[in-house]
Structure 1
């Protein structure tokens, strides 16, 4: 096994869809099989940033791990745990929060993104922009334009957000540093957060003349976006345009056959037709994707229904073993796996925390 310790997280979303499978679960399995030591955890504390009422995060956390295990994660090869089951992570986060500034946190893309979302909605209300899309283009351009909104408006938008969101990068740094991870694969949207963790480690080690915190390496993973079935947005449960890993063969075929496509394969592809091609490219043999393009460019016969049928058959074939493994895993099995994972992680995090406290002077040496 490689000396690298890889860390990656999964959101407690419950059951997965094929977009999650292609965009995350497959990458987790590849990391598992790479020979590196892998720590995979459920980010249930991060999920509290979006909670506005009772939600069964316990059940959804167990469910998402069960789904990842069905996709091929093997608890004998990787360590699986829940963030909230390792209280030392929260204490490391508390310590780190004393070595960051509000200015640093307000520069975080997650924080700025939430403020921009509020600004976009307000710009449409004020008629500064016709719709969310045009407002988004104004706000996210190289020279941001917030219309009639002032700095005071943006400041007040920030005041409406919770402190947990502001401290998100500190908790994420604690996730990384508390377990001495050496390698953190992330998409472009999370790169800044890992850079924060690296910065915290350097600052802490330099300030207290210690090597208590391991400075992790960052690897940027190529993100895979799986299109939705409705011809507009990416696949998601909330948009009701997804195929769940546990959907029956009949339901899968029904959903695929209902995808919007042009009647005639002539001219520019519509969004729905483009999505059909992308799904074929992502989940089917290369030969079928080539056939799609060939028939698109050289034939006037209607073939979308045939292509949808072949895509549906392939998805049924892909999901059958996943569904079989899922049925063989009980929630009790998952809870045992998560408990065992926490038992492995907590001594590591406790040792890191002890070295941090010793370096600061909160605890004695040995």
Structure 2
């Protein structure tokens, strides 16, 4: 996931007036790989909702072009796109305060990616860590997997982003976007700003079965991940079975006690309290009792989201209409940029 701040404004496409907010645009993308989990929500989606009140124009994209770097069943992909749209809306993404759209429906993303790809050397891509990791897992990777950081750079530069809130694992891909902005500007004249990183301070939610790893949708252990659509009973079961240790006291020591520290971090995040406050609240409890407290807090946070996802998924036409309108608004922002890029490159 990635969040981008842009310096271009297009308020006429939004149904509200936010003149008092900073004049910047925010863009973030998320792959449609199924319903988000608790780590996605606390690590990114919750802050996306808050950004709608902080900046004048906010854009969120379901980046389906990125998702097909891995084999996809077409029908499943269609459903996953709608699942993601419903999940974002249920979490608080508001189409009257932001633009929600499907990446593949704005062709300028692909066009700019091709142009930037022609300015990118193969060794530059080969040294990116995610290519090394994913290609080793699959023995060999596709051309799409190899070049998807260029598409990510195009996502960033297409809207002339100036700041990119990212996780630490995305820094090198942001550096590629910065490099490509410099290369393009050097060859064709000053046009793209060099986006700067805004590192997120959010604590990562760890797997409930292996607290040394991040919570993941693809974890083969069914009890490792809490999804936004999990029932209260599912959540209680998963948290009660969470791996801790043999010390009964509740403390926050991520290095020596990663399991119980993960629960503390999770509890603090869903309840809006500090780590110190929730540790004080847990005084006198053993870890078994504390798991029940954490489970109750997570259920309370996620239950309204789960019910709203169910309501929204029942109306396919409504979701498709919202995404189509969002794509029109995104295209209206991307098209003028690509017109200038084509002129600079010499296409006309």
TM-score by length of 1: 0.78
Query: What residue number does 2:205 align with?
Result: 226
Query: What residue number does 2:189 align with?
Result: 209
What is the Cα deviation at residue 272 of structure 1?
3.8
Query: What residue number does 2:64 align with?
Result: 44
Distance of 1:193 and 1:206 partners within structure 2: 20
Q: Which runs of 5+ in 2 are unaligned?
A: 1-20
Structure 1 residue aligned with 2:115, among 76, 95, 99?
A: 95
Query: What residue number does 2:278 align with?
Result: 288
Structure 2 residue aligned with 1:27, among 47, 51, 56?
A: 47
SS in 2 for 1:184: strand
Distance of 1:106 and 1:54 partners within structure 2: 29
Structure 2 residue aligned with 1:278, among 253, 265, 269?
A: 265
Q: What RMSD, in angstroms, separates the aligned Cα atoms of the two structures?
A: 2.5
Query: What residue number does 2:173 align with?
Result: 193
Q: Which runs of 5+ in 1 are unaligned?
A: 119-156, 296-301
Structure 2 residue aligned with 1:72, among 83, 92, 96?
A: 92
SS in 2 for 1:357: helix
Q: 1:207 to 1:66 in 2, by over 3 A?
A: same
State which structure, 1 or 2, has the greater radius of gyration over its C-alpha atoms: 1
Q: Deviations over 1:54-75 (max 9, x none)?
A: 5622211121121111111111
Query: What residue number does 2:76 align with?
Result: 56
What is the Cα deviation at residue 271 of structure 1?
4.8
Q: Deviations over 1:226-253 (max 9, x none)?
A: 1222244332232221122122222222
Q: 1:350 to 1:318 in 2, by over 3 A?
A: same
Q: Which deviates the most, 2-11 or 222-231?
A: 222-231
Q: Deviations over 1:299-349 (max 9, x none)?
A: xxx722321221121112112322343344233222222111110111322
Q: Map 1:1-366 onto structure 2 (within 5 A).
A: 1-51=21-71, 54=74, 56-115=76-135, 117=137, 160-211=140-191, 213-232=192-211, 233-239=213-219, 240=222, 241-262=224-245, 265=248, 271-284=258-271, 285-286=273-274, 287-292=277-282, 294-295=283-284, 303-329=286-312, 330-363=315-348
Q: Which deviates the most, 350-359 or 267-276?
A: 267-276
Distance of 1:52 and 1:29 partners within structure 2: 29
1:194·1:218 contact (CA, 8 Å) conserved in 2? yes
TM-score by length of 2: 0.82
Q: Deviations over 1:34-84 (max 9, x none)?
A: 124211111111111111655622211121121111111111111111111
SS in 2 for 1:235: coil
Q: 1:197 to 1:234 in 2, by over 3 A?
A: closer
Aligned residues: 315
Query: What residue number does 1:131 align with?
Result: none
SS in 2 for 1:34: coil
2:48·2:93 contact (CA, 8 Å) conserved in 1? yes
SS in 1 for 2:68: helix
SS in 2 for 1:167: helix
2:39·2:215 contact (CA, 8 Å) conserved in 1? yes
Distance of 2:150 and 2:195 partners within structure 1: 15
2:231·2:303 contact (CA, 8 Å) conserved in 1? no
Q: 1:195 to 1:317 in 2, by over 3 A?
A: same
Distance of 1:181 and 1:314 partners within structure 2: 37
